[in-house]
Amino acid sequence: MKSYHGGLGVGIAGIVQRRHDEPKPGKHEVLIRVRAASLNARELMILAGQYSLPVKPDVVLLADGAGEVITIGDEVTRARIGDRVACAVFPRWIGGRFGWEFAAQIGGSLDGMLTELAVVDEQAVVAIPEHLSWEEAATLPCAGVTAWNALSGLRAPVPGETVLVLGSGSVSLFALGFAKLFGARVIATTSSDEKAERLRRLGADDVINYRSIPEWHVRVRELTDGRGVDHVIDVGGGGTLARSLMSTAVEGQVAAVGWLANEASSIDIKAIAGSIATLRRIAVGSRAQFIAMNRAIAVSGMHPAIDSVFPFADAVSAFRYYEAGKSFGKVVIAMP
Amino acid sequence: MKSYHGGLGVGIAGIVQRRHDEPKPGKHEVLIRVRAASLNARELMILAGQYSLPVKPDVVLLADGAGEVITIGDEVTRARIGDRVACAVFPRWIGGRFGWEFAAQIGGSLDGMLTELAVVDEQAVVAIPEHLSWEEAATLPCAGVTAWNALSGLRAPVPGETVLVLGSGSVSLFALGFAKLFGARVIATTSSDEKAERLRRLGADDVINYRSIPEWHVRVRELTDGRGVDHVIDVGGGGTLARSLMSTAVEGQVAAVGWLANEASSIDIKAIAGSIATLRRIAVGSRAQFIAMNRAIAVSGMHPAIDSVFPFADAVSAFRYYEAGKSFGKVVIAMP
Amino acid sequence: MKSYHGGLGVGIAGIVQRRHDEPKPGKHEVLIRVRAASLNARELMILAGQYSLPVKPDVVLLADGAGEVITIGDEVTRARIGDRVACAVFPRWIGGRFGWEFAAQIGGSLDGMLTELAVVDEQAVVAIPEHLSWEEAATLPCAGVTAWNALSGLRAPVPGETVLVLGSGSVSLFALGFAKLFGARVIATTSSDEKAERLRRLGADDVINYRSIPEWHVRVRELTDGRGVDHVIDVGGGGTLARSLMSTAVEGQVAAVGWLANEASSIDIKAIAGSIATLRRIAVGSRAQFIAMNRAIAVSGMHPAIDSVFPFADAVSAFRYYEAGKSFGKVVIAMP
Amino acid sequence: MKSYHGGLGVGIAGIVQRRHDEPKPGKHEVLIRVRAASLNARELMILAGQYSLPVKPDVVLLADGAGEVITIGDEVTRARIGDRVACAVFPRWIGGRFGWEFAAQIGGSLDGMLTELAVVDEQAVVAIPEHLSWEEAATLPCAGVTAWNALSGLRAPVPGETVLVLGSGSVSLFALGFAKLFGARVIATTSSDEKAERLRRLGADDVINYRSIPEWHVRVRELTDGRGVDHVIDVGGGGTLARSLMSTAVEGQVAAVGWLANEASSIDIKAIAGSIATLRRIAVGSRAQFIAMNRAIAVSGMHPAIDSVFPFADAVSAFRYYEAGKSFGKVVIAMP
């Protein structure tokens, strides 16, 4: 069987494919025939040497994947052969709050999903919604769970509240979809009228083109009768935080998601002092959140947005395409 | 102007209509031209002498009503002339947890809404959703807010969770509608196939006829793959609580709503000991919950279920009709 | 090495001691030299055949124990040789809410701590506070964590709130001690003046002798100026629940702890209908709660109440003594 | 009767004393004979013209005060003649979350407490703990409630958690005292060894002199075995926020309190991106929080820290003394 390996700072050019013998699961492990995997910004950060959590040398790449359980260890109770599963990015973060003892992560300090056969601890394994294809299910662990946690991890939206999502990255698209499931009104920002139209089709009630309206927080206030929004999913860091805070209602929440740890920018302290809001930095989410999210997806029949699917043999092209930053929805690699 | 008055234990036969001079609002009060009012079980309990909170003698009846602000006191800031408003049942319960100091209530210790002109403290006043008629808005304060609090006051449903509503009383119908806004799956119980059909049209995903399936909790477990439901809105007291508890998932919630304080029944302690659930007794809800609920109704465009509308002149007939217990949705009294 | 084994319904007379070879930990397991273990009501329920969760045949008895890590598996990261540890009763319930997939339990479906050497999954292992003796640390997993969860799992006491603990069982004694750490005022009930004095020495602000004052809920109201208490730790089931509910303040909480699943009693529905309170049934607590509790014990320097210590060789006598129900504090078995 | 008046930007020099007739309470108002009042940074901000909320012209100064109810309006139910009371800074913020409709504030848009006789809405009135003197009670409304909300408004400290308080301003001193009531360990920072000693006497477990240890966040990590603190009460804004965030544990909280809205500084976005923490901006607290805080003070017997007491006749000197910034504890003005 074949896997793609990489490491901290090796670049896309440093990705190598290797052949291995078929692995055997330990007593609490399962062997998964991976059917699809998908890409996240963290992969590019790892390859660029900018990732802040530990990465093992020559790691099998990619946190996100889905497949079928084909063998299980002697004492496994959470999975059966034939189960359709994905893996939690932090297999040991079962529920409750995050902590460093749960920081081992798939496709980082642990081997990942860009492989034909993956052995994972049974705790990592989460059943996927039946109506999703392998490609769709492979998009959930990182971007899906992050969006779910960002929206609902502190104080979930209540129907009738307003959620602001910035841009059309995958976390934002998931957050848009989930916010609608929570009964929220959604305002999205984007850079082009074409993307605006796609965001509307995904359920956005209002879309603001931040190129034509650079002071988009003013527009957000207008759209909410001056009240501001209850939740912001801020994926922009220093470039957006001040405006996000100026967009929030009293006692609103801003979730800080996927910011670059080495971004060289700053925010005026007045932006924080002048709002009565809560800013929350998050790190993906727990297995319990993954399960809750899957239940929401299953009951609603929602489908994740997919931009494109590359064959396993051409996985490196998927990295190059994703790096170019033109995708709308997830970039997926499908196994034969 | 005319009002209908009653009191503790006077019966429907004891309701009297009186004429009054037009009242003047004090500096923090507003004068409302009431356009519609509606009935709740509490009214029958008051008239039957079975109500546990204080009732002032010869009180103007009815907690629920909606109308137009026509005059305001000198220092009023929360309402303007022309506002379309309803009144919070507990005007002093602004937000946070309930307490006895907030127990003064419209149509109980304070005069109610079955009147052409009502003077209320500006704190009682809540703007109603624009898309609702007067009759619809008049149904919200008691049954609507109770259902909202029952569902969301402790830990709100998350999309994909399952909510069980019992019967087709007005609190249950509101809870059904709100649960759908929260993205939940809804199971309802009822006594007839005809009502089952109406519940399905209001959004129930599954309906159980408890006459044909008296062990309805077993059916609830089947419908949830053995897991049980996350929330139960239990309006039945001793007749349903044991089965409600047996229907809940681990860490599920049962909201105890509108139980008769003098019901002569008991529950086997095993029903409580055998579930890992939380049972929560509630009392309507706060003004903040009323406002949040209205926002959900406004954003979703939801309409409350109305059974019938009686003219103000014939208000007593509305009480008699409601007492007969055949209504599906609210019984409303409309002003000329 | 030696272990004591039992099983569902074998009775104290059915407890047997066996010799085993020294076990070896698997790659995610640790080997603990157990230094002390302690008894809980669940052990008597298992031996009496009244326990509701699965029990494996010939299980090594006792959920509670503490000891020293002497060997670790190859991939263990959460423990080092020499660590002083206890085991979480539910090793897989890491944090967040309980669920049936976390129900495997030490001394039930998994081997327990009444053994000289125990092999446990590294996830079960929790560091114990430094200032505690082995005997003291052995009392924490079941009664300590249950009391912690009962008090703080839903809405923790805030300084100045009042907590009511019933009787002087070990969960109640832990709850008393923890409630003081939370800054609460504590009212305790008991059956004798001698125990009342001991409860006062453990920090109870007021003690009610329920033999001399059978209507103890009336006395609780007097002691709280009519307001009632904010939290009740109810360990009595049908015998106490109605009075517990009548003792609570508006929006108070009653934690239902350790009730017998087969108790043949009932509660008047009026007791529930007449209070505005939340009743919460719980099952021990998570590993995260265990860790948080240990931090509280460590920072405060608190010591658990111990009634008596039996030698390992005489473990069966500990069961007989405990069964007699005269203990005040934990009954512990110490290893040589 | 006499009152001191001021206004936005008039400076301390612009404070004037005026004589008035004895006021009469309206039907929902009470008349208070004020016995003591105290100063907060907001007063200096108002006089300096830097306050962001509305201030009425010629307002009676000071949010904080305590006194005796001497007359009540006809419909008042929350106070009786003879009650010892303080006033909530936001009389209309009864409980739950803040909102702009609750923003009317004593000593800002409403007349304040630096007066011999104050008329306030009965909703503003909160009973004060019996063991406090008038001078002590007068310190509670602003700094006390702010500290209580900062500590407990989102997720209260649990015994054994660590709280970091910055400096020795009054909010920090209250937070220190409350954190101890919550069972927390407290680390404080300060600028001198003399203040360090006073902070220790008030209960601080560790004190860091930030002049001798400018990298105080490193020392905080050392004192917490690398874990960081669970709560920070950050009163420093741009000067401290980055180090506060670097001091927090995973999923820790930073409360942003009393920051100047016009502070000209900024924070590196990396400080936010690099921590997994929640930053919460707050505005004093609700009446419900005031009442809960008073209960904690009453049950614990805690006394607020007072720096000095000035006579009413010399109130302006109190402002000048407070402005000099040398006080440790509250500056109080006592009525004759």
Helix (H) or strand (E) holding A6: strand A2-6
Residues of chain C with Cβ-Cβ distance to A109 below 8 Å are none
Q: How far is A155 from chain B (nearest CA, A)?
A: 10
Distance of CA B278 to the CA centre of its chain: 22
Query: What CATH class has C2-139+304-334?
Result: alpha beta
Q: How many helices (H) and strands (E) does chain A have?
A: 10, 17
Beta-carbon count within 10 A of B222 CB? 11
Domain C146-281: homologous superfamily in CATH: NAD(P)-binding Rossmann-like Domain (3.40.50.720)
The Cα of A313 is separated from the nearest Cα of chain C by a number of Å equal to 33
User: Is residue B262's pLDDT more than 70?
Assistant: no
Average pLDDT, chain A: 95
Q: What is the pLDDT of residue C19?
A: 97
Q: How confident is the model at residue C299 (pLDDT cuts 50, 70, 90)?
A: very high
pLDDT of A29 > 70? The answer is yes
Answer whether residue C298 shows pLDDT above 70. Answer: yes
**What is the pLDDT at residue A237?**
83
pLDDT digits (tens, 9 = 90+) for B118-161: 999 998 899 999 999 999 999 999 999 999 999 999 999 999 99
User: What is the three-state SS of chain B?
Assistant: CEEEEECCCCCHHHCEEEECCCCCCCCCEEEEEEEEEECCHHHHHHHCCCCCCCCCCCEECCCEEEEEEEEECCCCCCCCCCCEEEECCCCCCCCCCCCHHHCCCECCCECCCCECEEEEEHHHEEECCCCCCHHHHCCHHHHHHHHHHHHHCCCCCCCCCEEEEECCCHHHHHHHHHHHHCCCEEEEEECCHHHHHHHHHCCCCEEEECCCCCCHHHHHHHHCCCCCEEEEEECCHHHCHHHHHHHEEEEEEEEECCCCCCCCCEEEHHHHHCCCEEEEECCCCCHHHHHHHHHHHHHHCCCCCEEEEEEHHHHHHHHHHHHCCCCCCEEEEECC
Residues 6+ apart with CB under 8 A from C290: C86, C88, C126, C140, C141, C144, C145, C148
pLDDT at B265: 85
Helix/strand/coil for A38 = strand
Q: Which chains touch A (3 or more CB pairs under 8 A)?
A: B, C, D
Nearest to C158 among D152, D160, D161 (CB): D152
Asked if the model's pLDDT at residue C258 lies above 90, the reply is: no
Query: Which of B78, B93, B102 is nearest residue D101 as measured by Cβ atoms?
Result: B78
For residues C241 and C271, the answer to whether their CB atoms sit within 8 Å is yes
Q: CA A20 → CA A4, A66, D265, distances in Å?
A: 11, 20, 56
Helix H or strand E segment including D291 = helix D287-300
Q: Please give the residue that has the higher pLDDT: either A111 or A270.
A: A111
pLDDT of residue D269: 87
Residue B260 has pLDDT above 80, yes or no: no
pLDDT (0 to 100) of residue D216:
98
Q: Does residue C259 carry a pLDDT above 80?
A: no
- What would the two tokens of residue A255 be? 């979730």
pLDDT score of D259: 77
Residues across chain C: 336
Does pTM surpass 0.90? Answer: yes
Domain locations in chain C as residue ranges: 2-139+304-334, 146-281
How far is it, in rounded angstroms, from Cα A210 to Cα A203? 19
CA angle A21, A62, A147 (to 5 degrees): 145
Examine the pLDDT at C115 and tell me if it is beyond 90: yes
pLDDT at A57 over 90: yes
Helix (H) or strand (E) holding C52: none
Residues 6+ apart with CB under 8 A from C233: C147, C150, C151, C163, C164, C165, C166, C171, C172, C175, C255, C257
> What confidence category does residue A283 fall into, taking pLDDT thresholds of 50, 70 and 90?
confident
Q: How many CB pairs under 8 A join A and D?
A: 102
Residue D215, token pair as written in the block: 């990298």
Question: Which DSSP string do the residues of A144-188 spell out, in sequence order?
Answer: IHHHHHHHHSSS---TT-EEEEESSSHHHHHHHHHHHHTT-EEEE
Query: What value does the mean pLDDT take over residues C304-322?
Result: 98
Measure the CA angle with vertex C37, ends C35 and C40; round to 5°.
170
**pLDDT for the residue C261:** 62
Contact C298 D161 (CB under 8 A): no
Residues of chain D with pLDDT under 70: 260-262
H/E element, D35: strand D29-38
Cβ of C96 within 8 Å of Cβ of A95? The answer is yes
Nearest-angstrom CA–CA distance, D99 and B125: 16
pLDDT at residue B237 is higher than 90: no
pLDDT digit string, tens, across residues A190-234: 999 999 999 999 999 999 999 999 999 999 999 999 999 999 999
Q: How many residues does chain A have?
A: 336
Q: Is the ipTM of this complex over 0.85?
A: yes
Query: DSSP state, A228?
Result: -
Q: Tell me how many degrees the CA angle C235-C237-C243 measures, rounded to the nearest 5.
A: 90
Note the pLDDT of residue D52.
Answer: 83
pLDDT 10s digits, D95-153: 999 999 999 999 999 999 999 999 999 988 999 999 999 999 999 999 999 999 999 99
- Inspect the interface and report whether the beta carbons of A182 and B182 lie closer than 8 Å: yes
Interface probe for A, chosen from B126, B140, B158 (most Cβ of A below 10 Å), is B158
Question: What is the structure's pLDDT at D262?
Answer: 66
Enumerate the residues of chain D whose CB falls inside 8 A of the CB of residue B101: 77-78
Closest residue in B to A205 (Cα–Cα) = B299
Give residue ranges of B with CB < 8 Å to any C CB: 52, 97-100, 154, 237-238, 241, 250-251, 256, 259-270, 272-283
- Where does the pLDDT of residue C156 fall: very low under 50, low under 70, confident under 90, or very high at 90 and above? very high
The CA distance from A123 to A110, in Å, is: 14
- Which residues of chain A approach chain D closer than 8 Å at the C-beta? 52, 97-100, 154, 237-238, 241, 250-251, 256, 259-270, 272-283
pLDDT tens-digit series, residues B58-109: 999 999 999 999 999 999 999 999 999 999 999 999 999 999 999 999 999 9
Instruction: Average the pLDDT over A83-109 and give the result.
Output: 95
pLDDT of residue C112: 97
Separation of alpha carbons B9 and B17, rounded Å: 17
Q: Is the pLDDT of residue C88 over 70?
A: yes
Gap between the Cα atoms of D108 and C330, Å rounded:
58
